[in-house]
């Protein structure tokens, strides 16, 4: 019986404990004139960054920071709106082998947060008077693998 309890205690645990907005900004510097423009053709500058920090032995904060600037190509790249969002979660990572922690933080945690991050940005753009801005899905596995490859290449040189 004691062996079963020891085995249960050592099972890996991965769980989202809390999700929250750390920072949110919406700007429409050319409102209301921008709403009168016809034949708007959006051009998007998009930047995404992941941050993770250890809070205690078992908890990590993982944050997705997104900056989106949408401009009108037909109006000399006049800014339609800018959204900046830092959306985060606290994750419980217990008994996860050390060699897997970075992948969990860089892939699994953002995969859980991203649909909500996407919805927040879409809703904010609508509330700002624009069409919903739908971010394309992001392949966090490919981002992680590319980062590993770059690290390995830098070590070789």
**For position 107, which CATH number holds?**
3.10.420.10
Helix (H, G, I), strand (E, B) or coil at 82: strand
| 7 found inside a domain | no
Backbone angles phi, psi at 142, to 5 degrees: -65, -40
- At 152 the pLDDT is 84
The residue among 153, 149, 52, 26 whose CA lies nearest residue 105 is 52
| pTM given for the model | 0.87
| 3 found inside a domain | no
pLDDT in tens, the chain (157 residues): 455 555 556 899 999 999 999 999 999 999 999 998 888 889 999 999 999 999 999 999 999 999 999 999 988 889 999 999 999 999 999 999 999 999 999 999 999 999 999 999 999 999 999 999 999 999 999 999 998 898 888 877 7
Instruction: Quote the CA–CA distance of 67 and 90 in Å, as a whole number.
Output: 21
Domain limits for position 28: 12-156
| 143 found inside a domain | yes
């Amino acid at each position: 019986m004691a062996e079963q309890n020891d085995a249960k205690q050592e099972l890996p645990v991965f769980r989202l404990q809390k999700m929250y907005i750390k920072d949110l900004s919406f700007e429409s510097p050319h409102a209301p004139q921008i709403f009168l423009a016809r034949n708007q053709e959006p051009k998007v500058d998009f930047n995404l960054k992941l941050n993770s920090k250890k809070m205690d032995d078992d908890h990590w904060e993982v944050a997705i920071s997104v900056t989106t600037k949408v401009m009108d190509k037909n109006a000399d790249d006049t800014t339609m709106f800018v959204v900046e969002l830092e959306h985060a979660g606290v994750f419980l990572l217990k008994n996860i082998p050390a060699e897997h922690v970075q992948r969990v933080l860089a892939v699994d945690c953002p995969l859980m947060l991203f649909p909500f991050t996407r919805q927040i940005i879409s809703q904010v753009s609508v509330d700002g008077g624009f069409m919903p801005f739908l971010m394309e899905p992001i392949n966090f596995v490919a981002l992680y693998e590319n980062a590993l490859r770059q690290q390995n290449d830098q070590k070789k040189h």
